[in-house]
Structure 1
Amino acid sequence: MPLPRCFFDISINSVPSGRIVFELFVNDAPKTCENFRCLCTGEKGEGKTTFKPLHYKGTPIHRIVKGFIVQGGDFVKGDGSGGESIYGGFFKDENLSLKHDRPFLLSMANKGSDTNGSQFFMYVIATPILIMLPHPL
């Protein structure tokens, strides 16, 4: 059975610039994938802790390191200091054994163990060794 997908329609300076399609590894990280999917659709309404719409629509990509990483998902402040999961606040890590062995794999960004909210990142290159290092914001 094919894996579920969701997408972002990207605009740069209000000019439509394309679509990014994400394939979600629901068998490896079901709770994380459901969080991301629901934040793409906006179907969960308002956040329990931020009272902001639980939706990525209109959210900026707040961090780009050319040739390395793209990060976004802070629908609260838009600067990388906020965010919330569909579960209210943060949720626990799932399956930290997956490696970034190819470019453009989607991952949750967090501030340490069990602090997953809405922020995500993608390395634009393969970085299999970095999975062993902490990834603080």
Structure 2
Amino acid sequence: NPVVYFEVSADDEPLGHITMELFSDIVPRTAENFRALCTGEKGFGFKNSQFHRIVTDFVCQGGDITNHDGSGGRSIYGGDFEDESFEVKHTGPGLLSMANSGRDKNNSQFFITLKKAEHLDFKHVVFGFVKDGMDVVKKIESFGSPKGLVSRKIVITDCGQI
């Protein structure tokens, strides 16, 4: 399975490195979309995008590469793409899952879980997990709030495939 990474900063202060493994064996299209957005090989991607919604004790959400506020996003497939499989469940912290605005409405927005969230099962496609750098995810969480408002500008300054 592919392994990708984010370098993340808060108001230009480096927070560190997050390494993620993608479930290309279970959700190949979803994993490929995220992988290619990490490398930027299609001419667009996650580099310089933000975590725009951070809900403490729930999720860190990012990936709006068009509007940077949660209203946009873009997949490598053109428009939105389908919910590929709900096989993997939101069983604990450190899971990568697709944010969406409804069924089959996946683009580039994603979230990292901060705890078990079974109410997201069968609605959001889990496509990977944080392999290393959960300490960095916890730092990102510290700039969030219960309502999801972010106190500092949390930016993916670099990203790619290992």
Give the structure-1-normalised TM-score: 0.86
Aligned to 2:120: 130
1:128 is displaced (CA, Å) by 3.0
- Provide the rounded CA distance (Å) in 2 between the counterparts of 1:14 and 1:129: 35
Percent same amino acid among aligned pairs?
51
Aligned to 2:45: 55
- Provide the rounded CA distance (Å) in 2 between the counterparts of 1:130 and 1:83: 20
RMSD: 1.2
Asked whether 1:77 is paired with 2:73, we answer no
The 5 Å alignment of 1:1-137 reads 3-45=1-43, 54-132=44-122, 134=123
Code of the aligned partner of 1:32:
T
User: Which runs of structure 1 show a deviation greater than 3 angstroms over 4 or more consecutive aligned residues?
Assistant: none
CA offset digits 1:74-102 (Å, max 9, x no partner): 01010000001001011111111320112
The number of aligned residues is 124
Give the structure-2-normalised TM-score: 0.73
Code of the aligned partner of 1:23:
E
Normalized per residue, which structure has more strand?
Answer: 2
- Which segment drifts farther, 119-128 or 74-83? 119-128
